[in-house]
Every structure is written in structure tokens, then in C-alpha cells.
Amino acid sequence: MKIIDPKETLIGYKERLARLALFDVFAMIDRKTTKDKAGNKIDYFGLLLVSLLFFFECMLVRKKESGSKELAFHLKMVCDSYYQLDDSDYQEIASQIISVLRPADGMRNKKEFFNFQTGKHDFVEYNILKISAWDKEQNRQYYILDDDGLELIFASKEFFSEFRISISQLVLRKQLEKGEFVGALRQIDEMRLSVHAIYQNMVNIKHEIQQNIVSDETYERYKNVIEDINYRLQREHEEFNELIDFIKHTRHTLEHSTTYEDKDRKAHADIIKIYTELIDVHTMHSQLLTDSIELKTKALEAARESMYYVGINSFNFRNDIVAKIASTPLPLEVNALIVKPLLGLQKCHTFSTAAFFARQRVGGADKTDKRQEFLQAAEEENAQNLMLRQEKYALIFERIRIAMGDKTEDNLKNIIENLDKTDIDMKDFCDFCIILHQFSPLSFPELSKNPNHIFYTVAAMSPHKRLVVTEYKERITIDSRYDINDMRFSFE
């Protein structure tokens, strides 16, 4: 009979119990026995879940003003058909629920337990809600779900929080195939929150690496965690690219449909919005991939070097080497092995005949071209940087088309006045206009055949065949930092 090692079963005991402790708030709220005016017992257990879903929905729609008053109104809309309660009763219930999710003293919820892994009494702290804003005039506080609150929400829906984005990508693909575009937008919002949660997790891991790596075992554990994160982000990055290609194909199909009805026009507008939102989330996710690589190559190695230098600083030659050899009678062979790592390597200067086959420099020492010219757009870029620039320029191009409306010709000055500058770096906007003028006139059918061109995505999404950009001498102000010559955009 094979004996199970108890130590193996208790690995990560505190982290697992911390996740289970999040559900204590349901046990605390379920003890209440309040009844409504008709004598029906109020289900506080269910109302707590309704409240968590309310705050989660506020995060999805980016509603920042969500406090006890808004929660009370939401509970009234949910329960008005089932309980006989006044507005003051709903306000009291909302205050009670918020006090459980976030204690009135501002302290984090605490769960004490006996840690069977370490054999000591231990505790974990968690916080479901945190304060997002405060209205000084009305003396009101607004709340938002903390990281533990998001963990509790996702625990009620999925099994593994590490695969939130992968599962959301699968659901999004199915929704797009079925034409459920409204649900697809909501799924993208959930993916944005998941990306933010992964970012916070990576920040915490970076801090833990700097504080906790004191042995090779700890180093290997964090190394495996970072490699798993990097591998998962790479897979998700590939799936993002496939989703974007699928959306492009769907959009192309709608634009070239023979029967273009009102429902097709609405679907086309939804597809454009989905494409813009997904590009935004993809850009954030790509930055996560870059951060994970940096975390692996810089932070982890820096921690290992720090551990190495700590060992060097704590090393004492007299106590660790001399005292051991002088006080312990050891064979000469053993003494030689003890001293050998501390001896320097033998140096010998020789000439190798292989040097004749080394690469030789032919010509002068300095043959570089020192002509002063304006910077030109690079024809070949790193694949990742190229993809990011294509995505940024696609977003800027889409905003320009929206600012122009139905017009096929307009000046840059008028476009800037109507431009939606949300999530747009104005330096990227200026670069886009300058490079666009350099490539003018642009033939979109030809550019759409070259995936390595910086305007490949722009060409693929443009309904026009040609763009001519003409520069004027008038100087216009983009913002407080950038000026540029006025230009005229002419679509054909």
C-alpha cells in the first residue's frame, strides 16, 4: 500500500485557505434574521451575491459613483416584487451589506486558523470592497471591488482564475459566430478586468521576488510561476490575433453584402465598436507579455544576483575555511578540495592559429554615411513593435474617419476639432500624420496585400481605394506640446 506524504498534500495550504476565507462574508450575513412587513424572512445570503454582482457591473460599465444609496435602489428594483419594504429598509440593508464587505473601522477582514503546513497559528486578511471616491459636499463614500472581491466574483463563475482570459476568448468567439454582438462587448469588458487583475498579480510577484528569494528552492519556485505566466500570455496573444482576423473577415462580409438592411447597418456599427475595444484590450495584454518577459529576464536574475552577493558578504574566510582546516584533522586530499574553489585560475597567454580564420575588417575604420536627413519610416521593424504600431494607427485612422463623418475631403484642423482623443497618444497621432504624408498617395488595395507594412491594418479596414494627403503651410496646434502643419485628407 502506497503511503501518501502529508507534506505534499499541505503545499500551498495558506493560499488555499485564503481563497476559502473569502466566503466567510456569506456566513456572517446569513446569521441575520430580519423579516419584512409581511413576516417573510429576508434572504441576506442571496442579497449579498446580488450586491457583489452590482459592484461588478459598475466596474464593467465604468460607473465610479456607486455607494450605499445606489446599492439600495438596485436592491429595491430586484426585490420589490418579493418583499414588502420601504426605502429606508432598503437603505438599512445596503448599509449592513457594505459594513460586512468593508468593516466600518476601515480594517481588513481577518481569518485566524491553525496552519498545518507550518505547525503554527496563522491568519489571512482580505478586503472585498475598497473606497474609490468621496463626495465632500454630500459626505458620501463610493466603493469599488477590491482584488479579493473580484476573486470572489470569479470563484462563483469559473474554476481557475488563471484561465479567465482564455475562457473569455472562447466565449467571445462563440458569441461572434452567433451574431451576439452586445454580449461580445460585455465579454470584452470582462477581459479588460482580467487583464488588470493579471497586471496586479505580476506587480505583487515582482515585490515578492525582491523580498522573499533567499534560497535556490524559492528562486526555482518563482521561476516556474513566471514561466507559466509567460507561456499562458503567449497562447492568449495568439488567440487575440485570431479573434482580430475573424472580426476583420466578419466586417468585410457585412460591407460587401448584396442586401444591406437596417439590421446589417447596426451589426456593422457593433462590429466596428467590438474591433476598437478588442484592439485596446489586445494592446494592454501585449504590454503584459512584455512585462512578463522583463520580469523573467531582469527582476528574477537581479534577485538571484542579490542572493549571490548576500552570500559573499556573509562569507568569512578565517571562520569558514581557516578555522575548519586548523581545528579538524582532515586528509590532505580533503583540504585541497576545500581550498580549491577559492584559488584563482591559471593564466597563460598563447597565440592560436585559429585567429587567422577570424573575420577581418576590410576598408577604412569609419565608412558610415553621415548625411543629415529627416527620419524616414523603417521598412522592416521588429514583429512585435510593427504589430503594435499597426494597431495604434488603425485606431487613429478609425477616429479620423468618424471625425470626418460622411465627407471624403477635409482639413486636419477640422478633424482635430471633432476628434475623439480618448486612449490616443497625440505623439502617435502626429507621427501617423507625418508618415501618412510621406507615403501619399496611398493605394489601399496594394497595401492590404503587404502584412509587413505599417498601414496594413489601416488599408484592410478602409472602405476607400485611395488616399491623398496634401500639406499646407498653416501651422496648427494639436495640444500644449505638439504643433504640426495643416494637411488635407482626400479619399477616393
3-state helix, strand, coil in the chain (%, to 5): 60, 10, 30
pLDDT computed for residue 447 by the predictor = 79
Q: What is the largest distance, in Å, between two alpha-carbon atoms of the chain?
A: 101
pLDDT computed for residue 407 by the predictor = 80
50-to-23, 99, 365, 418 alpha-carbon distances in Å: 14, 15, 74, 41
Cβ distance 275 to 244 under 8 Å?
A: yes
Give residue-wise pLDDT tens across range 301-333.
Answer: 776 676 666 666 666 767 777 777 778 787 888
Pairing between strand 466-477 and 109-115?
A: unpaired
Tell me phi and psi for residue 34, to 5 degrees. -65, 145
Say yes or no: 44 and 140 in one domain: yes
Answering whether pTM is above 0.75, one says no
In a domain? residue 55: yes
pLDDT computed for residue 51 by the predictor = 92
Give residue-wise pLDDT tens across range 119-177.
Answer: 899 999 988 888 888 888 888 888 888 888 888 887 776 444 567 787 788 788 888 88
The residue segments making up the domain with residue 59 are: 6-146
In a domain? residue 383: no
In a domain? residue 344: no
In a domain? residue 361: no
Q: Sign of torsion, CA 80 81 82 83?
A: positive
In a domain? residue 449: yes
Average pLDDT over residues 246-268: 76
196 vs 377 pLDDT, higher one: 196
336-to-318, 329, 489 alpha-carbon distances in Å: 16, 13, 80
Say yes or no: 206 and 125 in one domain: no
Say yes or no: 280 and 165 in one domain: yes
pLDDT computed for residue 377 by the predictor = 47
Say yes or no: 78 and 214 in one domain: no
State the DSSP H helix or E strand holding residue 304, giving kind and residue range, or none if neither.
helix 300-314
Q: End of a domain among 311, 341, 358?
A: 311
Say which range, 85-94, 195-204, 307-316, has the weakest mean pLDDT. 307-316
DSSP 8-state symbol, 125: E
Residues listed for the chain: 492
pLDDT computed for residue 372 by the predictor = 43
Total domain count, the chain: 3
Say yes or no: 140 and 195 in one domain: no
Q: From CA 250, how far away is CA 268, in angstroms rounded?
A: 9
In a domain? residue 439: yes
Which residues, in sequence order, are CB contacts of 257 under 8 Å at separation 6+? 264
Say yes or no: 135 and 191 in one domain: no
In a domain? residue 185: yes
Q: End of a domain among 146, 181, 211?
A: 146
State the DSSP H helix or E strand holding residue 336, giving kind and residue range, or none if neither.
helix 332-339
